[in-house]
A and B are shown apart, each in its own frame.
Chain A
Amino acid sequence: MWGFLKRPVVVTADINLSLVALTGMGLLSRLWRLTYPRAVVFDEVYYGQYISFYMKQIFFLDDSGPPFGHMVLALGGYLGGFDGNFLWNRIGAENALITQSRLMLLESVLIFFNLLAVLSYLKFFNCQKHSPFSLSWWFWLTLTGVACSCAVGIKYMGVFTYVLVLGVAAVHAWHLIGDQTLSNVCVFCHLLARAVALLVIPVVLYLLFFYVHLILVFRSGPHDQIMSSAFQASLEGGLARITQGQPLEVAFGSQVTLRNVFGKPVPCWLHSHQDTYPMIYENGRGSSHQQQVTCYPFKDVNNWWIVKDPRRHQLVVSSPPRPVRHGDMVQLVHGMTTRSLNTHDVAAPLSPHSQEVSCYIDYNISMPAQNLWRLEIVNRGSDTDVWKSILSEVRFVHVNTSAVLKLSGAHLPDWGYRQLEIVGEKLSRGYHGSTVWNVEEHRYGASQEQRERERELHSPAQVDVTRNLSFMARFSELQWRMLALRSDDSEHKYSSSPLEWVTLDTNIAYWLHPRTSAQIHLLGNIVIWVSGSLALAIYALLSLWYLLRRRRNVHDLPQDAWLRWVLAGALCAGGWAVNYLPFFLMEKTLFLYHYLPALTFQILLLPVVLQHISDHLCRSQLQRSVFSALVVAWYSSACHVSNTLRPLTYGDKSLSPHELKALRWKDSWDILIRKH
């Protein structure tokens, strides 16, 4: 922690002995007994799992952030000889920064790159003053961009710091534009260099992370289902094994499975089975009593449908195959029951505003079959309008009622086996994924007889061609799904709200020794947290005071000291603000460790404020000495607190319940005390 504390001083003093000493201390405090505990701690359970996936090169999807962070960890694990066969599913049950950085979680890596970005920008800014376009100028500029993209690549939170650096760079660039001693060409070169380093390089690097990620994980894995059929088909194994080599163009007579593109609440396929809708629902409404059509989240022989030409009777593909095109009229015949997909003006079971969709049974009553559907290919190219398996996204528009086949998202009750409800949406308003379908498995039907056809439906599809998605298509889909993925479980024992972070009203228990009461907590050094917040408040008040006085033409500070004060504030206070305030707008589950990046910036501000008070506000020598004494006293109290909380940071000592109670300084801290 002290390493962070003194870094701004180091920035100005360049390399000196204290840097080495501080780094040593920082490393020591973090690496000390790093191998302890030998059990899985908290979120390591997730990240560890992901790393195993890398080792086995299996595709996975995580909503917490882009892949770079995982890869860094994987690389570490790889170098450390970790073979990916350890099962990461047991949880063995400032101090906060030490705790966080000792364990294998992403925050410490993120903080490292955040600080690296700010540091290298400062270095670059110093170079700008005396030697623009020098080698070190280029080095630090590029490093800023690289660090930014690494930070974003680890967790999306890194975006906040990136935005901050961009903002500061933009302000400096604006000053540069105003500098009339420079020629237009020179200004243009400056701007170009910044644009390349701070915009182009991060974007390229970010894409590169994904490129490597997708190259590394080319096998199918547990998260396949979330992705589109096309994406899944591009992975080795899984769906690709089935779809590889199936015919591309859907023709009349094709046998297909239809997957809903939206895939919420679960990915599923259009399905039907022998059972009919109950004559009367529980609420007294009636149904058509025809065969149920549902959406089913598992592979099943009842998911097969045959695309039939309404003008002909045959259910096989003619030779040569006649492809189905955008705007064609089709009938969809359920493979196992040979009944065709139908909708009519009967209210759907759970969504009474929409039409019921059924497989038509002729009861010989005045309810004719309405089984004609017009095919609309949503993503048809300008050159071709043929229905392609996997690639084409299609809608089925009912010819008689112009209702659209839709997944309503509701689960049917027991009579529908809790499968998902399918409806005909009459008022379809614009594009929505729940009305769009794509062919997943596909083959040309050849059997004339129903018995043979059933056998054919049960057999796996044949093999002949492969198709691959371009990198950009895969990237954009993956990116989109990552951003759109929401975890629904919004409650956790240790979740907390942003307001609790500043006052350290919360903690996270990471690990408890299986037998003794040794435990590891994410818990801050309260002296540091309070003084960090205090420094921020002092900084804000002093800045406001100076600003108002300057406006009235009273200059308390010399110009260069003022500029330094502003820059330090913009980076540190700004860094705190951009890493903290956005959490108030987020609706996901938040934990204390989300605050750590903001905290590091706050701590950076501390020495700035201290230095400033001693340099500019202490008038006499006496005041200065008193102030230094206070700083020393504060410092030692921080050390003392750090030492007292040490057992909770390292988890190396088993404390008695009494001692633990004594450590519970705030009622809201959740320290685990074993009952004996």
Chain B
Amino acid sequence: MPPATGGGLAESELRPRRGRCGPQAARAAGRDVAAEAVARSPKRPAWGSRRFEAAGWWALLALVTLLSFATRFHRLDEPPHICWDETHFGKMGSYYINRTFFFDVHPPLGKMLIGLAGYLSGYDGTFLFQKPGDKYEHHSYMGMRGFCAFLGSWLVPFAYLTVLDLSKSLSAALLTAALLTFDTGCLTLSQYILLDPILMFFIMAAMLSMVKYNSCADRPFSAPWWFWLSLTGVSLAGALGVKFVGLFIILQVGLNTIADLWYLFGDLSLSLVTVGKHLTARVLCLIVLPLALYTATFAVHFMVLSKSGPGDGFFSSAFQARLSGNNLHNASIPEHLAYGSVITVKNLRMAIGYLHSHRHLYPEGIGARQQQVTTYLHKDYNNLWIIKKHNTNSDPLDPSFPVEFVRHGDIIRLEHKETSRNLHSHYHEAPMTRKHYQVTGYGINGTGDSNDFWRIEVVNRKFGNRIKVLRSRIRFIHLVTGCVLGSSGKVLPKWGWEQLEVTCTPYLKETLNSIWNVEDHINPKLPNISLDVLQPSFPEILLESHMVMIRGNSGLKPKDNEFTSKPWHWPINYQGLRFSGVNDTDFRVYLLGNPVVWWLNLLSIALYLLSGSIIAVAMQRGARLPAEVAGLSQVLLRGGGQVLLGWTLHYFPFFLMGRVLYFHHYFPAMLFSSMLTGILWDTLLRLCAWGLASWPLARGIHVAGILSLLLGTAYSFYLFHPLAYGMVGPLAQDPQSPMAGLRWLDSWDF
């Protein structure tokens, strides 16, 4: 090893903030490598070589980028049908083009970008994206795929630059780039209309700009410093705007920033004012800026999606009033609830729907054999109820009576408009939920018994107040049993037409399941007001859509008797995902990591933990390390540590998640894991070479090691590339198959 490298490392102490900034760092790193080259050549052209080095550095970056783009764009149009989740995200892109409102569990940025890409490339939003396997035919889909592949291609150069900055070693960066370029999983995931390439693009952009700005720390408040800092903020907003997984990279940047500020705070040469400036700059760029951008994406989202669509029912009544085409849009209805009003009652929890009844009885053996009461998500005449006084059956709409408003705490009766039965409850067990009471429709033409009486209450309001349409959150308390009307959200069997169960719960817990609001309201005796005054403000919309997304995410629960992907499956590449095709006649694409890359990554993590702790203990024991070894261990502990933190943050939280998990959730972590592999092997090989310095070929060990790793990865890609680019013909267990002999694990099915 030439002294330049080791010396340089030791001298710079490799604290991230002492490193060099931007192009300087690049040149410096280039110089190290060039110095290696120079050491080999007898001549030493002292001055002219600098430009040559810079050119070489740029050429290498260009090569890496080019290779990445070439692999990602190769056969991008194959297969010309919908693959896997393209059916969701392509469809959602179309929704943006058509401006119809929809609901998804992820924030909108990714789908908006897909929609934009489609729009710009001439896709008109008419393709239905019904199910995987549907042919695109004349519809233009390459714009959207191309956009995702474009972002996915940047992952490799980003990782390359990040590792270069962390380790100041070209060979480590090259190794990382090769691992990612030649990983079939990353490749497959970047080639389709999915959120993952967009998400990973922003994650890696945030990581790269964070590392870059760390290395600018010696020149605070300079232009590049501001540039990288604000770019970090922008990328964070992007990552969070695509999927909530973006929170993990935010956490990483946050931890890094806290450590950074802590270091600055302890530097007594800096005045408190300077520290305050540092703090303000970070708050501005890493909190205020991303939040503003994130909010802006939602603002655009709501602005674009102005028409009523399939997502309406997930949102509250007030929200729906915004959407043109929805029956609440531009509607005008009476504001306060009065006796005799015809109303629909909507549950406040997402995706429960309206209180509903119909001319069908509960079947024999399930509670009392009376008329069913359910909740139903669609608008229907059977959702209409008339609100009446509990003790009289006179028609309140008779013009001779004065209008009487319903007030908080009143005792009322709800009569089903179509069947004239009263909402009723009694001490019979509910059909699905144990310990809850059954709710039925009872009585003839509005005459029932005292079990039809309910007390209407407005949550958090004083007794005696009037009840507002849409805005008031109300509860119905059954007078006799004291239970609360609610929906359990459980789907009734066939006899209940697969609508949702309504129960009366004796547990007086504050949950949204038992809170309702009045949506439609018809009362000819009252003046109508325009609903526009009730329209929620932007912060309210923002909050509501987040609540709906979070609940949607936690609602994705795995089923007991299904095989589900577990987080421990992922790093060992236990099982992939079928993107396209099942049979041996189909064009099959299978999302699976290149096993050589993945298992190398796994081994590297173990090796890293081992070597890292040996070095840490040695340093804690106060061992005196030679300058070169000290420099390399710093690279390992600091650079490697940061990447390892990234892997940890992007992997372990999944163990705590209750929702359904899929293999592709591991890919952000896999990016970090590959960077760790690059740094680790380069450092270990250098240490090895240093340890054997007396041996004549010592330096060759490093070069040979890196070369063989590069070639090995490339060869494994040659073997496994059909996984990503598509296979036809028999399945792998057949000796005739192109993949014969490559099914190394029984659990892979390609």
Cα distance A99–B265 in the bound complex, in angstroms: 49
Closest residue of chain B to A420 (Cβ to Cβ) is: B561
Of A286-294, A428-436, A566-574, the one with at least 4 CB within 8 A of chain B:
A428-436
Please determine whether A491 and B507 come into contact, CB atoms closer than 8 angstroms. Answer: yes
Please determine whether B582 and A489 come into contact, CB atoms closer than 8 angstroms. Answer: no
Please determine whether A491 and B435 come into contact, CB atoms closer than 8 angstroms. Answer: yes
**Known contacts A180-B622, A432-B563; is-contact A427 B617 (Cβ 8 Å):** no
Any chain B CB within 8 A of the CB of A409?
Answer: yes
Residues 479-495 of B, flagged 1 when their CB comes within 8 A of A and 0 if not, give 00000000000000010
Interface residue ranges of A172-207 to B (CB < 8 Å): 174, 177-178, 180, 184, 187
Contacts of A428 in B (CB 8 A): 563
Contacts of B265 in A (CB 8 A): 548, 551-552
Any chain A CB within 8 A of the CB of B658?
Answer: yes
Cα distance A432–B266 in the bound complex, in angstroms: 55
Report the interface size for chain B: residues with CB under 8 A from the other chain.
Answer: 26
Please determine whether A282 and B494 come into contact, CB atoms closer than 8 angstroms. Answer: yes
Please determine whether A178 and B620 come into contact, CB atoms closer than 8 angstroms. Answer: yes
Please determine whether A262 and B561 come into contact, CB atoms closer than 8 angstroms. Answer: yes
Select A552's contact among B268, B507, B560, B749, beta carbons within 8 Å: B268
Question: Nearest chain A CB to B303's CB is how many angstroms away?
Answer: 36
Any chain A CB within 8 A of the CB of B575?
Answer: yes
Interface residue ranges of A541-593 to B (CB < 8 Å): 548, 551-553, 585, 587
Interface residue ranges of B243-274 to A (CB < 8 Å): 262, 265-266, 268, 272
Cα distance A184–B575 in the bound complex, in angstroms: 46
Any chain A CB within 8 A of the CB of B747?
Answer: yes
Cα distance A432–B575 in the bound complex, in angstroms: 13
Please determine whether A489 and B434 come into contact, CB atoms closer than 8 angstroms. Answer: yes
Any chain B CB within 8 A of the CB of A525?
Answer: no
Cα distance A553–B563 in the bound complex, in angstroms: 58
Cα distance A264–B560 in the bound complex, in angstroms: 7
Question: Nearest chain A CB to B655's CB is how many angstroms away?
Answer: 10
Contacts of B262 in A (CB 8 A): 551
Question: Nearest chain B CB to A416's CB is how many angstroms away?
Answer: 14
Residues 386-421 of A, flagged 1 when their CB comes within 8 A of B and 0 if not, give 000000000000000000001111000100000000
Number of contact residues on A: which range applies?
Answer: 20 to 34
Question: Nearest chain A CB to B558's CB is how many angstroms away?
Answer: 11
Please determine whether A408 and B561 come into contact, CB atoms closer than 8 angstroms. Answer: yes
Please determine whether B747 and A430 come into contact, CB atoms closer than 8 angstroms. Answer: yes
Please determine whether B434 and A585 come into contact, CB atoms closer than 8 angstroms. Answer: no
Cα distance A637–B617 in the bound complex, in angstroms: 52
Interface residue ranges of A216-241 to B (CB < 8 Å): none
Cα distance A537–B494 in the bound complex, in angstroms: 55
Contacts of A430 in B (CB 8 A): 563, 574-575, 747
Cα distance A428–B562 in the bound complex, in angstroms: 10
Please determine whether B749 and A429 come into contact, CB atoms closer than 8 angstroms. Answer: yes
Closest residue of chain A to B657 (Cβ to Cβ) is: A585
Please determine whether A552 and B559 come into contact, CB atoms closer than 8 angstroms. Answer: no
Question: Nearest chain A CB to B566's CB is how many angstroms away?
Answer: 10
Question: Nearest chain B CB to A116's CB is how many angstroms away?
Answer: 30
Question: Nearest chain B CB to A185's CB is how many angstroms away?
Answer: 12
Any chain A CB within 8 A of the CB of B621?
Answer: yes
Cα distance A552–B269 in the bound complex, in angstroms: 10
Any chain A CB within 8 A of the CB of B656?
Answer: yes
Please determine whether B560 and A177 come into contact, CB atoms closer than 8 angstroms. Answer: no
Any chain B CB within 8 A of the CB of A92?
Answer: no
Contacts of B575 in A (CB 8 A): 429-430
Any chain B CB within 8 A of the CB of A493?
Answer: yes
Any chain B CB within 8 A of the CB of A352?
Answer: no
Any chain B CB within 8 A of the CB of A321?
Answer: no
Question: Nearest chain B CB to A482's CB is how many angstroms away?
Answer: 18
Question: Nearest chain B CB to A231's CB is how many angstroms away?
Answer: 21
Contacts of B747 in A (CB 8 A): 429-431
Any chain B CB within 8 A of the CB of A265?
Answer: yes
Cα distance A493–B559 in the bound complex, in angstroms: 27
Contacts of B272 in A (CB 8 A): 552
Contacts of A177 in B (CB 8 A): 617, 620-621
Contacts of B434 in A (CB 8 A): 489
Contacts of A265 in B (CB 8 A): 560
> Residue among B268, B561, B656, B749 with the most chain A CB within 10 A?
B561
Interface residue ranges of B535-578 to A (CB < 8 Å): 559-563, 574-575
Please determine whether A409 and B563 come into contact, CB atoms closer than 8 angstroms. Answer: no
**Known contacts A409-B561, A430-B575; is-contact A493 B621 (Cβ 8 Å):** no
Cα distance A585–B653 in the bound complex, in angstroms: 11
Please determine whether A184 and B621 come into contact, CB atoms closer than 8 angstroms. Answer: yes
Contacts of A262 in B (CB 8 A): 561
Contacts of A406 in B (CB 8 A): 561
Please determine whether A551 and B266 come into contact, CB atoms closer than 8 angstroms. Answer: yes
Cα distance A587–B262 in the bound complex, in angstroms: 36
**Known contacts A180-B621, A489-B434, A548-B265; is-contact A407 B561 (Cβ 8 Å):** yes
Question: Nearest chain A CB to B469's CB is how many angstroms away?
Answer: 29
Please determine whether B658 and A587 come into contact, CB atoms closer than 8 angstroms. Answer: yes
Question: Nearest chain B CB to A198's CB is how many angstroms away?
Answer: 18
Please determine whether A553 and B268 come into contact, CB atoms closer than 8 angstroms. Answer: yes
Residues 473-497 of A, flagged 1 when their CB comes within 8 A of B and 0 if not, give 0000000000000000101010000
Cα distance A177–B615 in the bound complex, in angstroms: 13
Contacts of B435 in A (CB 8 A): 491
Cα distance A432–B506 in the bound complex, in angstroms: 39
Select A434's contact among B494, B561, B656, beta carbons within 8 Å: B561
Contacts of B268 in A (CB 8 A): 552-553
Contacts of A264 in B (CB 8 A): 560-561
> Residue among A184, A406, A430 with the most chain B CB within 10 A?
A430
Contacts of B507 in A (CB 8 A): 491, 493
Question: Nearest chain A CB to B673's CB is how many angstroms away?
Answer: 22
Residues 426-456 of B, flagged 1 when their CB comes within 8 A of A and 0 if not, give 0000000011000000000000000000000
Closest residue of chain A to B506 (Cβ to Cβ) is: A493
Residues 130-146 of B, flagged 1 when their CB comes within 8 A of A and 0 if not, give 00000000000000000
Question: Nearest chain A CB to B685's CB is how many angstroms away?
Answer: 28
Question: Nearest chain A CB to B569's CB is how many angstroms away?
Answer: 8
Contacts of B658 in A (CB 8 A): 587
**Known contacts A178-B620, A551-B266, A552-B266; is-contact A409 B749 (Cβ 8 Å):** no
Interface residue ranges of B561-609 to A (CB < 8 Å): 561-563, 574-575, 582
Cα distance A430–B578 in the bound complex, in angstroms: 13
Residues 424-447 of A, flagged 1 when their CB comes within 8 A of B and 0 if not, give 000111111010000000000000
Please determine whether A409 and B574 come into contact, CB atoms closer than 8 angstroms. Answer: no
Cα distance A505–B447 in the bound complex, in angstroms: 42
Interface residue ranges of B464-519 to A (CB < 8 Å): 494, 506-507
Contacts of A180 in B (CB 8 A): 621-622
Please determine whether A178 and B621 come into contact, CB atoms closer than 8 angstroms. Answer: yes
Cα distance A429–B565 in the bound complex, in angstroms: 10
Closest residue of chain B to A486 (Cβ to Cβ) is: B560
Question: Nearest chain A CB to B508's CB is how many angstroms away?
Answer: 9
Please determine whether A409 and B620 come into contact, CB atoms closer than 8 angstroms. Answer: no
Cα distance A409–B507 in the bound complex, in angstroms: 30
Contacts of A585 in B (CB 8 A): 656
Interface residue ranges of A251-290 to B (CB < 8 Å): 262, 264-265, 282
Residues 364-389 of A, flagged 1 when their CB comes within 8 A of B and 0 if not, give 00000000000000000000000000
Question: Nearest chain B CB to A495's CB is how many angstroms away?
Answer: 8
Cα distance A540–B265 in the bound complex, in angstroms: 19
Cα distance A216–B102 in the bound complex, in angstroms: 60
Closest residue of chain A to B621 (Cβ to Cβ) is: A177
Question: Nearest chain A CB to B24's CB is how many angstroms away?
Answer: 31
Contacts of A553 in B (CB 8 A): 268
9 additional A-B pairs beyond A413-B494, A430-B563, A493-B507, beta carbons within 8 Å, are A177-B620, A177-B621, A408-B561, A409-B560, A429-B563, A430-B747, A432-B561, A432-B562, A552-B268
Query: 16 A-B contacts, Cβ less than 8 Å apart?
Result: A177-B617, A180-B622, A409-B559, A409-B561, A413-B494, A429-B747, A431-B747, A432-B561, A432-B563, A491-B507, A493-B506, A493-B507, A551-B265, A552-B272, A553-B268, A587-B658
Q: Which 3 A-B pairs have the closest CB atoms?
A: A409-B561, A432-B563, A434-B561
